[in-house]
A and B are shown apart, each in its own frame.
Chain A
């Protein structure tokens, strides 16, 4: 409780200090600044919500009318009949390729760089190189894919040119630097004491890596890899270049290896295709295909998070 003098100007020194320290200072500017910063995040949230709502709204007619049929139909020029079956198939095949090729090679490279390589100029060059490769636009990898896997004179004899094999190989190359970086980070996070202990009982480098470093880093590597797969699943730019089919696509004939070397499509390509064709007719189909894509991505991300939590609880 303030004790005032007869006039406001009669406040004693201690009274002034008391006021200053205990009075509620508004600091309007400070609050406003904080609100401004927060609004950036809120704007992002609004955008996200708008995007999802808008797409879902567009997708509902197709999904509610046709439901699972949308998932099982083939490509067609008629919106009532077009479906994403082949796109899902193609994308899954590509992801399998990436998992088989990019994952072991990437983790292997990361192990080499973090555990085996000495700090020489060569090692530093490789590291810088990988970081640069990770920053190259994805479409440039499409050019690489064309040159190596699709054009005559490249490996098109084996891959069959514009095939899902070419797509898988190209996407593996694209994704490889990211896998290396993610895995290297996870390996670096392993405490040194564990390595020393392993060496101390007379284990070789590989024994230490395999029995102690890798298991410890595994959750991080796995999560990173799964997230990278998700990214590979949603990438379309290189695929456009290396000739994922748009428009009509026949499948089902021929054996397994012929199919691998034949025409194919991928889910994000189908979205692109629907979106750039006659939009008025295909707008709902596009939205529906996007919903399928987003749901798959959501599932993959959820798997990654579950994996991470399950392994991290160990210690």
Chain B
């Protein structure tokens, strides 16, 4: 304390504040940090669980069974190619459905819709987003399969195509929402520059807005793909393949994806824990699934960050 200036009216102690208040503050801070750190704990748990189970499975099984003809877990045939191909097939069909629908809807909502029509049209996507996958699975089996797959192509009752279309419908709102955000974020000044040069609206939309938003649009598609890969119930209900399936790329036939294989493992007669090698394969497939979706999500993040950097 500087005696020359100090007027004795204040000491450091006066500025220390109430200890009760400070203790409360410190406690709350610690609690909140705990909540924040919980996410890391969860992540670690997931990784450990998957790793553990995978090691369990791979060490107990003959590795040649991972490359045999078809996924028949009860017969100890764990042909990874089959279920991965199944997943990719379903996802590809889903993207064929979701990309045009989602991007088209996004483009309309972002560029063409008046505020009033936006208020009327956006709920369509929002309601669609709220449909649980179980419901879509039922719809795929009871309506899409007979009315589309079996009518136009010669498909069996259970087929990959119906499941793929169902998944596509499910992910359309996600694709649309991310893409719309990306297009909306394109600054007005760019559009106005184009209009100022006499460009028509569709030129502006296709040649200016779309390229400017392309990072976000790619991110939307990747996110959609990731979600399609992880989709379980639609395939479990509509695609068949619960007993096991051969490697097949035919959408008119039944098929098995990684996710549906996992549900089959958990509900079939192989659910007796540890009694057969089939059950641990659950973790193995789960790990594959996790790695696939994680890498897609990380890539999509990069694209989203590119959008944010620009604007």
**A residues near B, CB below 8 A?**
27, 29-30, 33-34, 36-41, 43-45, 47-48, 50-51, 54-55, 58, 104-106, 108-109, 111-113, 116-117, 125-126, 128-133, 135-144, 146-148, 151-152, 173, 176-177, 180, 204-206, 230, 234-237, 240-241, 243, 246, 268, 271-272, 275-276, 279, 283, 286-287, 290, 293-294, 297, 301
Given A40-B105, A137-B293: A268 and B134 interface contact (C-beta under 8 Å): yes
Q: Is B121 an interface residue (CB 8 A)?
A: yes
Using A44-B124, A109-B39, A126-B40 as known contacts, say yes or no to A148 and B237 having CB atoms under 8 A apart: no
Please judge, given known A-B contacts A241-B262, A275-B138, whether A44 and B172 are in contact too, CB under 8 Å. Answer: yes
A36, A45, A230: the one within 8 Å of B104 (CB): A36
Cβ-defined contact, A108 with B35, below 8 A:
yes
Bound Cα distance A246, B264 (Å):
13
- A208 to nearest B CB, angstroms? 11
**A148→B45 contact, CB < 8 A:** yes
Q: Which residues of A contact B29 (CB under 8 A)?
A: 112, 116, 205-206
Residues of B within 8 A of A142 (CB): 262, 266
User: Given the complex of chains A and B, what is the CA–CA distance between A105 and B22 in angstroms?
Assistant: 23
Report Cα–Cα, A18/B309, bound state, in Å: 45
In the complex, the chain A residue whose C-beta lies closest to that of B266 is A241
Q: Closest CB-CB distance, A127 to chain B, in whole Å?
A: 9
Say yes or no: B143 contacts A275, CB within 8 Å. Answer: no
A110: shortest Cβ distance to chain B, in Å? 8
* Cβ contact of B108, chosen from A41, A112, A236, A297, cutoff 8 A: A41
In the complex the two chains form, is B45's CB within 8 Å of A144's CB? Answer: yes
Q: A109-B38, A272-B237 are in contact. Are A55 and B112 (CB under 8 A)?
A: no
Inter-subunit contact A132/B297 (CB<8 Å): yes
Q: A40-B108, A48-B127, A136-B290 are in contact. List 7 more A-B contacts (CB 8 A).
A: A40-B102, A55-B138, A117-B36, A126-B37, A137-B227, A240-B266, A293-B134
Q: 29 interchain pairs (CB within 8 A)?
A: A37-B108, A39-B104, A40-B102, A40-B105, A41-B109, A47-B128, A51-B136, A55-B138, A58-B142, A113-B36, A126-B37, A132-B43, A132-B298, A133-B39, A136-B46, A136-B290, A137-B293, A138-B230, A140-B46, A143-B282, A177-B39, A206-B29, A236-B132, A236-B232, A237-B232, A240-B267, A276-B236, A283-B142, A297-B130
Closest 4 CB pairs of A and B: A137-B230, A40-B104, A234-B132, A108-B35
Q: Which residues of A contact B242 (CB under 8 A)?
A: 276
List, in ascending order, chain A residues with CB within 8 A of B63's CB: none
B137, A275: Cβ atoms under 8 Å? yes
- Cα A133 to Cα B133 in complex, Å, equals 20
Q: Are A290 and B232 in contact (CB under 8 A)?
A: no
Number of A-B contacts (CB under 8 A): 243
Chain A CB within 10 A, most for which of B36, B49, B101, B294:
B36
Residues of B within 8 A of A58 (CB): 142
Closest to A210 in B: B28
B250 in contact (CB, < 8 A): no
Do B169 and A137 touch (CB < 8 A)?
no
Using Cβ atoms and an 8 Å threshold, which residues of chain B touch A205?
25, 29
A34, A39, A131, A275: the one within 8 Å of B141 (CB) = A275
Contact across chains for B49 and A135 when beta carbons are under 8 A apart: no
In contact, A38 and B112 (Cβ under 8 angstroms): yes
A129 contacts B101, C-beta separation under 8 Å: no
B residues apposed to A, CB below 8 Å: 21-22, 24-25, 28-29, 31-33, 35-40, 42-43, 45-46, 49-50, 52-53, 100-105, 107-109, 112, 121, 124-125, 127-128, 130-139, 141-143, 169, 172, 200-202, 205, 223, 226-227, 229-233, 236-237, 242, 259, 262-263, 266-267, 271, 273, 282-283, 286, 289-290, 293-294, 297-298, 301
Are A136 and B293 CB-contacts (below 8 A) given A112-B33, A204-B25, A205-B25? yes
Do residues A29 and B33 form an inter-chain contact, with CB atoms below 8 A? no
Q: Within the assembled complex, what's the spacing in Å between the Cα atoms of A144 and B229?
A: 19
Shortest Cβ gap from B189 to chain A (Å): 22
Given contacts A51-B139, A132-B297, A173-B42, contact A139 B112 (CB under 8 A): no
Report yes or no: B21 in contact with A133, Cβ–Cβ below 8 A.
Answer: no
Contacts of A54 in B (CB 8 A): 139, 142-143
Whether A139 lies near B141 (C-beta < 8 A) is no
Q: How far is the CA of A137 from the CA of B296 in the complex (A)?
A: 12
A113, A237, A287: which has the most chain B beta carbons within 10 Å? A237
A205 closest partner in B (C-beta): B25
- Whether B132 pairs with A37 at a CB distance below 8 angstroms is no
Expressed in whole angstroms, the minimum distance between the Cβ of B70 and any Cβ of chain A is 21
With A126-B36, A126-B37, A177-B39 as given contacts, are A143 and B286 in contact (CB-CB < 8 Å)? yes
> Contact between A297 and B132 (Cβ–Cβ < 8 Å)?
yes
Q: Report whether B263 and A241 are in contact in the complex, using a CB–CB cutoff of 8 Å.
A: yes
State which of A47, A126, A241, A294 has its C-beta within 8 Å of the C-beta of B135.
A294
Tell me, rounded to whole Å, the shortest Cβ–Cβ distance linking B274 to chain A: 9
Residues of A within 8 A of B52 (CB): 147
Q: Are A144 and B201 within 8 A (Cβ)?
A: no
Residues of B within 8 A of A230 (CB): 130
A290 touches B138 (CB 8 A): yes
CB distance from A47 to the nearest CB of B (A): 6
B286 contact from A48, A133, A139, A276, Cβ within 8 A: A139
**Which single residue of chain A is at the shortest CB-CB distance from B286?**
A143
In contact, B293 and A105 (Cβ under 8 angstroms): no
Q: How far is the CA of A47 from the CA of B172 in the complex (A)?
A: 12
**Cβ distance A107 to chain B, nearest Cβ, rounded Å:** 8
Known contacts A133-B42, A271-B138; A30 and B201 CB within 8 A of each other? yes
